[in-house]
Amino acid sequence: MAGHSKWANIQHRKGRQDAARSKLFSKLSKEITVAAKMGDPDPEKNPRLRLAVKEAKSQSVPKDVIERAIKKSAAGEGDDYEEIRYEGYGPNGVAVIVEAMTDNRNRTASTVRSTFTKNGGNLGETGSVGFMFDRKGEVAYQVDIGDADTVMMAAIEAGAEDVESTEEGHLIYCADSDLHEVSGALEAELGESESTKLVWKPTTTTELDLEGMQKLMKLVDALEDDDDVQRVTTNFEASDEVMNQL
């Protein structure tokens, strides 16, 4: 999918802005606290916590912030959070999955619904767009880690299912249940990854022009601006020309 890695880069650059960065740190810290609460506070014994800490480090979250988030779990913080997935359609029929972590289900549902409505979309029932995505593990490496063949061979040896190599970098996909093992094998071969996480990978996509992308980004930005929303995934497809115009 031409657009996805480029859009990740756009979001990554946007994340360098202080306000967005502070919000991102807060969301990553929340995930760490909840992951530690649900399992062992030692990342080496808790795969979900290990992934959360790894993702936080990849976004340059300071070590003391990570340690503080883990300690919060021991203090009972994170007890009230529940994970909810919302599904709906954005402008031009693009499928959208919103993953939230909230201590007030009614507040979050109301905000997510109104955000969809105000930005040309509509919230659907659970499962209304989920069939257009597969739950996968994703390991990202920078482009200079090696050429496509080198990364492909390492991915095959590690038990991965697919590799997408572009000028933006390498994305390696595996079954969601295999992410811990696959990422460990990849690190032994290729070194530390840029990020390791569970994602919703589109199986069908919707092509967008420049205007469609601008409308979609407005919706995604508004959703991500909500403190309860952890992650937003869409199934857009866009040409390199459109992405460059953005």
Average pLDDT for residues 110-118, to the nearest whole number?
97
The DSSP result for 177-239, as a single string, is GGHHHHHHHHHHHH-S-SEEEEEEEESS-EE--HHHHHHHHHHHHHHHTSTTEEEEEE-EE--
**Which runs of consecutive H residues, i.e. helices, occur in the chain?**
2-14, 18-38, 47-58, 63-74, 105-118, 148-158, 179-190, 210-224, 240-245
The pLDDT assigned to 4 comes to: 54
pLDDT by residue (tens digit) across 8-25? Answer: 555 555 544 566 778 888
**DSSP character for 144?**
G
Q: Is the dihedral of CA 92, 97, 103, 104 positive or negative?
A: positive
Q: Assign 4 to helix, strand or coil.
A: helix
Q: Assign 108 to helix, strand or coil.
A: helix
Q: Is the dihedral of CA 188, 192, 197, 199 positive or negative?
A: negative
Q: How far apart are CA 73 and CA 168, in angstroms?
A: 36
Q: How far apart are CA 70 and CA 152, in angstroms?
A: 35
* pLDDT > 90? residue 119: yes
Please choose, from the candidates 51, 112, 65, 106, the residue with its C-alpha nearest in 3D space to the C-alpha of residue 82: 106
For a pLDDT cut of 90, what percent of the chain falls above it? 61
**Residue whose structure tokens are 């090696």:** 146
The pLDDT assigned to 220 comes to: 93
The pLDDT assigned to 245 comes to: 82
Q: Assign 43 to helix, strand or coil.
A: helix
pLDDT by residue (tens digit) across 159-188? Answer: 999 999 988 899 999 999 999 899 999 999
- Which amino acid would we find at residue 35? A
CA neighbours within 13 Å on the CB side: how many for 209?
Answer: 1
The pLDDT assigned to 124 comes to: 94
The answer to which of 69-78, 110-119, 141-150 has the lowest mean pLDDT is 69-78
User: What six digits make up the tokens of 125?
Assistant: 């029932």
**DSSP character for 129?**
T
